[in-house]
């Protein structure tokens, strides 16, 4: 099998797995049992991992709250900020986001409408990017929170957070970003981006599934109402026993990303350009959806000229890719992202997502391009 779905998930790096293994069976103490040595050893490992992630993000370790992943982080950020504002008498009820956000951002924003908040979904252009003037116009009404993902999970298109943040500040709102597709792929600095809240997912950058984090700014302090009640772990923001092996894995993945990001991005970008050129030669008329220039190195969202994407994928089962968000896989439906970018339903149906990662080789990409071209021509390619 040739795996080209690295926006859905990445292989856990063997070095990450090696770092995690002792914490499953040898060092199995509860990190919240500080009264004895094994508990303290686990707690120290948790804090070491927190420091590793903080270094990658250029954040204070005290600003990182461990969660189960980006879905929980996004819910905690959006619902937590809104409910705290209401609890403290803040009259603002507007929450602004993009129509192309991941469902785990759109869902919480829509849920809050039932609690008296006003969801505002801003459109994007054909390139998948937000026009800053649309954000200025939206902020003419007092706004509590703006949520803009750094990198779209389907198209790989990068939003210009550095340009959008001053607009949000001028409007007096808080700024949250879903960084799930950006961490480990782009240099990130929480101070330079001027973020109040940011969501991270470990399995998107070669860490384990089931672990993530939420950046919560300390100065000026951002306050949230927690989603979970319980033992008050993670400074009361996220109760529950932390999974030491997964946290250690997240920290190791962050350290590897900090060391290898620049070199890895250049290699993956070269692979992407190589396979794009090969596919365009083999399938004349194939198009790239969204901005190619403002895109993470490993993503291609491609529009086939003549064939339905699902049909092509079925003809080439040895290539693992997708038509869009993995979270929508159980319910096949047109991509809301591509539709929002102005594509017609038939164009959306002809689009597929190709994700290149750390463990993708040039030979695999060459073979995948040949297989997809054959499938596009109606020739089945055995797995």
List residues with catalytic annotation.
327
Number of Cβ within a 10 Å radius of residue 91: 8
Burial status of residue 346 (CB atoms within 10 A of its CB: 0-12, 13-18, 19 or more): exposed
Burial string for 101-134 (b: 16+ CB within 10 Å, else e) reads bbebbbbbbeebeeeebebbbbebeebbbbeeee
Burial category of 239 from C-beta neighbours within 10 Å (exposed 0-12, middle 13-18, buried 19 and up): middle
Total residues belonging to the chain: 383
Give the DSSP letter string of 285-330: T-EE-S-SSSB-TTEEEEE-SSS-HHHHHHH-TTEE-BSS-GGGTT
Residue 96, strand partner residues: 120, 146
Query: Rounded CA gap, 26 and 257, in Å?
Result: 27
Residue 223's contacts (CB-CB under 8 Å, 6 or more residues apart) are 81, 84, 88
Pairing status of strand 212-216 against strand 197-201: antiparallel
Among 374, 335, 367, which Cα is nearest to 353's?
335
Helix (H), strand (E) at residue 243: none
Question: Which tokens belong to 211?
Answer: 């672990």
Q: Is 356 left (phi over 0), alpha (psi -120 to 50) or beta?
A: beta
By the 8 A CB rule, do 11 and 358 touch? yes
Q: Which of 180, 222, 218, 266 is nearest to 77 (CA)?
A: 222
């Amino acid at each position: 099998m040739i795996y080209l779905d690295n926006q859905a998930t990445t292989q856990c790096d063997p070095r990450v797995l090696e770092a995690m293994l002792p914490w499953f069976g040898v060092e199995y103490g509860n990190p919240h049992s500080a009264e004895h040595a094994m508990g303290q050893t686990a707690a120290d490992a948790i804090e070491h991992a927190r420091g590793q992630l903080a270094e990658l993000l250029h954040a204070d370790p005290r600003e990182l709250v461990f969660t189960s992943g980006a879905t929980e982080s996004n819910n905690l950020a959006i619902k937590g900020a809104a409910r705290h504002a209401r609890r403290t008498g803040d009259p603002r009820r507007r929450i602004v986001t993009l129509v192309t956000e991941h469902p785990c951002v759109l869902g919480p924003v829509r849920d809050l409408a039932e609690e008296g908040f006003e969801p505002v979904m801003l459109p994007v252009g054909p390139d998948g990017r937000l026009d800053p003037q649309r954000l200025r116009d939206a902020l003419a009404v007092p706004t509590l929170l703006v949520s803009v993902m750094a990198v779209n999970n389907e198209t790989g298109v990068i939003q210009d957070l550095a340009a959008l943040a001053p607009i949000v500040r001028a409007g007096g709102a808080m700024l949250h970003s879903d960084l799930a597709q950006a961490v480990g792929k782009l240099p990130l600095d929480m101070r330079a981006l001027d973020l109040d809240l940011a969501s991270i997912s470990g399995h998107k950058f070669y860490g384990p599934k089931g672990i993530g984090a939420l950046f919560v700014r300390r100065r000026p302090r951002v306050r949230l109402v927690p989603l979970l009640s319980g033992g008050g772990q993670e400074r009361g923001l996220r109760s529950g026993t932390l999974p030491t092996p997964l946290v250690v894995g997240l920290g190791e993945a962050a350290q590897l990303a900090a060391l290898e990001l620049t070199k890895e991005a250049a290699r993956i970008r070269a692979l992407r350009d190589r396979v794009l050129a090969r596919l365009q030669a083999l399938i004349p008329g194939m198009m790239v959806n969204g901005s190619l220039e403002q895109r993470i190195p490993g993503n291609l969202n491609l529009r086939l000229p003549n064939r339905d994407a699902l049909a092509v994928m079925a003809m080439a089962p040895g290539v693992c890719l997708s038509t869009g968000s993995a979270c929508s896989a159980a319910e096949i439906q047109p991509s809301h992202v591509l539709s929002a970018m102005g594509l017609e339903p038939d164009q959306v149906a002809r689009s597929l997502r190709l994700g290149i990662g750390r463990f993708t080789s040039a030979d695999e990409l060459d073979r995948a391009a040949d297989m997809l071209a054959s499938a596009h021509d109606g020739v089945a390619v055995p797995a």
